[in-house]
Amino acid sequence: MSTFIRKDLPTLLIAIVGFAIVAEWFFPIKALSDFKSYLGLVVTIIYRVSIGIGTVYATTSEYAVWRRNPTKQQTIISGSMFAMIIIMALVCVFYGGLDAGYNAQYRWFQYNIYQPQSQAMYAVMFLFQCGSLYRVCRARSMESTIMLVAGGIFILSCIPLFASYVPGISELGTFVTQGPSLGGTRPANMAAAIGAIIVGLRSLLGKEQSTMETT
Amino acid sequence: MDEKTQKSIWDKMGSIDYRIIYATFIVMLSIPIFYPLGIPMKISTPVQTYYDAIVDLPPDSAILVHSFVDLSVWADTGPILVATWNTLWDIAEEKNIKIIAYVSIPDGAIKMDDLIQGELKPPQWRIDSYGETWVDLGYIPVVNEPVQASFAADIASVCPTDIHIYEIGSEWVGTPIYEIPVVQEVAARGGDPNKLDAYDFDLYIWGSWGCTSPDQWVRQFWTTGNPAYELKMVMMTIGNCVPNVMPYYGPDKPIVGFIPGSAGAAGLELLCGHMGEGIVMADIGDLAGIATVAVLLLGNLSYFGKKFFEKEEEG
Amino acid sequence: MVIQEQIGVLVSTILIVSQLSLIIGDNFFFKWSTRLVIGFSVIHAQIWGLYWSNQYAIAPIMKGELIWIIPLLLGLMMYTRLSKKYAWISKYPMGVQLGVGFGVVVVSMIRSQILDQIRMTITDITGATSPYALLNGLLVLIGTVTVTTFFFFTREHTGLIGKSAYIGRAFIMSSIAVIWAGDYIWAMSMLAGQLQYLIRDFFFGLILGGA
């Protein structure tokens, strides 16, 4: 009984829900279509309600990092994260409640902390890519030569200076994306799709236990 | 010059301190910000087809627009969105093109408010005809595939009322969407005026920086449905998603045009005539491209120089 | 600039420079600025999660649409993952999510990502209107066949399959090269955006006062 409730019933639920939606594809009757729409929103609500788990994990892991290394520096670093959480929570409580995301005060934090910071993370990534471009992109083997040539052509075709003044570079760039690159991406997509379908069907039939294991 | 010096030159070329490379790129990217270069541009085919898909729509068409706003990649994708909306606003009144728009990321909820009141201010006739020729439904969380499936089948199931937050059309906020004239008109195209779905539109303008997004959107807005929706799409994206878009890109395929980042946005700005950040980014890209070529050449010259020199010595 | 904007520009500049300081090595300022944005992101996700939970579940329940109690309960059941003893309860909402996810994807994936791709590979050749288009189509066909053999992991890559897989590797590398190059261009735009902000808004806007 315990195994039935803990393992078999959830697996049955996956199958019932999954096959109901697949059935709607073949039998587009209103009841099934409405059920499919309802389930789409159910998934959204589950996702939105359960976001708090991320909050719990983020805060507990940061606390654990601080506990392992309670130096002054780490205290300031971890403390700043908790301070930001408290400040934003207070902003939400005092300026708009559940609609706080639309308010000017929230907007200030979004534009002056979140936006520049998250963009800067990717900006740093570019500088590291420049370093790797120099160190790694050398024609040492067949693979790296292709990477150098195809990647180099694509980069040059995207840059207006070269696209305008180097004859044929933009046509070469188009050829690389619509020829060899498409020849590599298309079968990779197909292979990924076949893999996903197999895993999906195994899950619907209750054979893919790895998808239902929790820690 | 003796052999020892020649060797060390190849070694030196191949082991330049990373900080010099970083500094070089930062300086090269900064120069056009002080002194714009104005180097001419070539418009790529995907950008041209993106623009043509919008301006060549026949009269009385309906467009579904997903305003792709993600602040963490705004520098690259912002210019595309601005140029797209400027292109939409330039559509003549006589063509009677209906626009139904939404945003699907929280960042967009407030950014669109600022944009619509600023650089994306609609023409006066659009402002006066909010609700009749266009509507912005606001922030709807259409991000995962099950919700997209519901959205494509019936938009009202995910967004029952107009919830946009800016001043234009504020009298319509809270109105059930099937009481908004433009929604009724577009929904009626598919036969049922009380069901707005993917069948009712002629073009879907959407954006994402997830590389699996083309697969997702094509599944839910082209393949799904009985009969299949087969809603033509144009896509705003970033550069590294180009290989993922290519399997679906073509005149008789789901995605008829796409713009890969700010480089493409510059082309769209040239086409629509509204210069913006895309052109500035293109300028910056020019000098970065020169630095890129220099770095690639240095690394490979060092590698081949050492290899050739060692071979010569052995020989 | 009003005082709020000035403080905002100053704060943004400090955070951008802290983030860029990673290029000289991991340091206190980088870690501090990263934690700040993580803290914001946590609340950002939470507040919008609560907003939509209210819009889609709680408000309709208050209006009498009791059918939305089910997803609300399922969402709350996800929190049992935090307990080792009751974590099995979270399999129910996960099961619903998995079932819905597979259901909406499985059938359309067969058509769009397998059948249509095979059809397009062939029609790109049969429908070619120029020698360039024909060459492209043939290249894609060769790439499709050879890369597919590369993904045969149940047979050793020797003989004909080995040669085919080797060619397939070349096509995969070209695809990876374009992805990497696109990533490079994108990241370059991000750095350009940050430098623009530092120069225009901080240096000219704040320091030089709009000169």
Residue C122, CA distances (Å) to B116, B252, C118 in order: 45, 14, 7
**For residue A136, what is the nearest residue in chain B, using CA coordinates?**
B299
- A54 Cα to chain C: minimum distance (Å): 8
Residue whose entry in the numeric block shows the structure tokens 């073509």: B250
Check C79 against A53: CB less than 8 A apart: yes
- A30 Cα to chain C: minimum distance (Å): 17
Helix (H, G, I), strand (E, B) or coil at A159: coil
- C190 Cα to chain B: minimum distance (Å): 6
How does residue B310 score in pLDDT terms, banded at 50, 70 and 90? Answer: low
Cβ burial C92-117 (10 Å sphere, 16+ → b, else e)? bbbbbbbbbbbbbbbbbbbbbbbebb
Helix (H, G, I), strand (E, B) or coil at B97: coil
* DSSP line for C69-134: HHHHHHHHHGGGGG-TTTGGGGHHHHHHHHHHHHHHHHHHHIIIIIIHHHHHHHHHHHT--SHHHH
Higher pLDDT, C149 or B6: C149
* DSSP line for C149-193: HHT--SS-S-HHHHHHHHHHHHHHHHHHHHHHHHHHHHHHHHHHH
d(CA A20, CA A17): 5
**For residue C141, what is the nearest residue in chain A, using CA coordinates?**
A183
Burial class (CB in 10 A: 0-12, 13-18, 19+), C137: buried
Q: What is the ipTM of this complex?
A: 0.89
Q: Are B154 and A35 in contact (CB under 8 A)?
A: no
Give residue A211's pLDDT.
67
Give residue B2's pLDDT.
52
**What is the H or E stretch that residue A164 is in?**
helix A160-165
Q: Are B269 and B291 in contact (CB under 8 A)?
A: no
How does residue A215 score in pLDDT terms, banded at 50, 70 and 90? Answer: very low
Cβ burial A42-51 (10 Å sphere, 16+ → b, else e)? bbbbbbbbbb
In chain B, residues with a C-beta closer than 8 Å to the C-beta of C100 are 146
B62 — phi, psi (to 5°)?
Answer: -125, 135
Mean pLDDT, range B195-199, rounded to an integer: 93
Q: Are B66 and B201 in contact (CB under 8 A)?
A: no
Radius of gyration of chain A (CA): 26
C45-104 pLDDT, tens digit per residue, is 999 999 989 989 999 999 999 999 999 999 999 999 999 899 999 999 999 999 999 999
Most B CBs within 10 Å, among C188, C199, C208, to test the B interface: C188
d(CA B197, CA B78): 28
d(CA B147, CA B132): 27
Residues B136, B115, B276: CA angle, nearest 5 degrees:
125
The answer to whether residue A150 scores a pLDDT higher than 90 is yes
The answer to whether residue A210 scores a pLDDT higher than 80 is no
B99 — phi, psi (to 5°)?
Answer: -125, 125
Q: Are B81 and B69 in contact (CB under 8 A)?
A: yes
How does residue B315 score in pLDDT terms, banded at 50, 70 and 90? Answer: low
Tokens at B116, concatenated: 């619509």
* DSSP line for A26-77: HS--HHHHHHHHHHHHHHHHHHHHTTHHHHHHHHHHHHHHHHH---HHHHHH
B53 — phi, psi (to 5°)?
Answer: -60, -30
How does residue A136 score in pLDDT terms, banded at 50, 70 and 90? Answer: confident
d(CA B162, CA C52): 15
Share of residues in chain A with pLDDT > 70 (%): 97
How does residue C26 score in pLDDT terms, banded at 50, 70 and 90? Answer: very high
Computed over every residue of chain C, the mean pLDDT equals 91
Prior bond of B227 cis (ω within 30°): yes
d(CA B303, CA A130): 17
- C106 Cα to chain B: minimum distance (Å): 9
- For residue B260, give the DSSP letter: E
Distance, C-alpha A132 to centroid of its chain:
24
How does residue A148 score in pLDDT terms, banded at 50, 70 and 90? Answer: very high
Which residues of C make CB contacts under 8 Å with B? 23-24, 44, 48, 52, 100-101, 104-105, 107-109, 111-113, 116-117, 120, 175, 178-186, 188-196, 199-200
C156-202 pLDDT, tens digit per residue, is 888 888 899 999 999 999 999 999 999 999 999 999 999 999 999 99
**For residue C144, what is the nearest residue in chain B, using CA coordinates?**
B247
Nearest C-alpha neighbor of B264 from the set A129, C175, A163: A163
**What is the H or E stretch that residue A177 is in?**
helix A169-178
Mean pLDDT, range C104-127, rounded to an integer: 92
C27 — phi, psi (to 5°)?
Answer: -145, 170
Higher pLDDT, A181 or C211: A181
- B36 Cα to chain C: minimum distance (Å): 12
Q: Which residues pair with B249 in a beta bridge?
A: B255
Residue whose entry in the numeric block shows the structure tokens 């997209």: B148
Give residue C211's pLDDT.
47
d(CA C15, CA A112): 9
Q: Are B157 and B196 in contact (CB under 8 A)?
A: no
Computed over every residue of chain A, the mean pLDDT equals 89
Mean pLDDT, range B87-115, rounded to an integer: 91
Q: Does A145 touch chain B (CB under 8 A)?
A: no
Check C32 against A194: CB less than 8 A apart: no
How does residue B7 score in pLDDT terms, banded at 50, 70 and 90? Answer: low
**CA atoms within 13 Å, Cβ hemisphere of C162:** 4
Give residue A214's pLDDT.
47
Give residue C158's pLDDT.
84
**What is the H or E stretch that residue B62 is in?**
strand B62-66
Chain B partners (3+ C-beta pairs within 8 A): A, C
Q: What is the pTM of this model?
A: 0.92
Distance, C-alpha B137 to centroid of its chain:
20
In chain C, residues with a C-beta closer than 8 Å to the C-beta of B248 are 112
Worst-scoring range by mean pLDDT, A70-74, B11-15, C189-193? B11-15
In chain C, residues with a C-beta closer than 8 Å to the C-beta of B222 are 112
d(CA B237, CA B181): 32
Nearest C-alpha neighbor of B161 from the set B142, B150, B177, B172: B177
Tokens at C147, concatenated: 């890369």
Mean pLDDT, range B271-291, rounded to an integer: 91
Contacts 24+ apart (CB under 8 A), C4-7: C4/A108, C6/C206, C7/A112
A77-128 pLDDT, tens digit per residue, is 999 999 999 999 999 999 888 888 888 889 899 999 999 999 999 999 999 9
Q: Which residues pair with B130 in a beta bridge?
A: B134
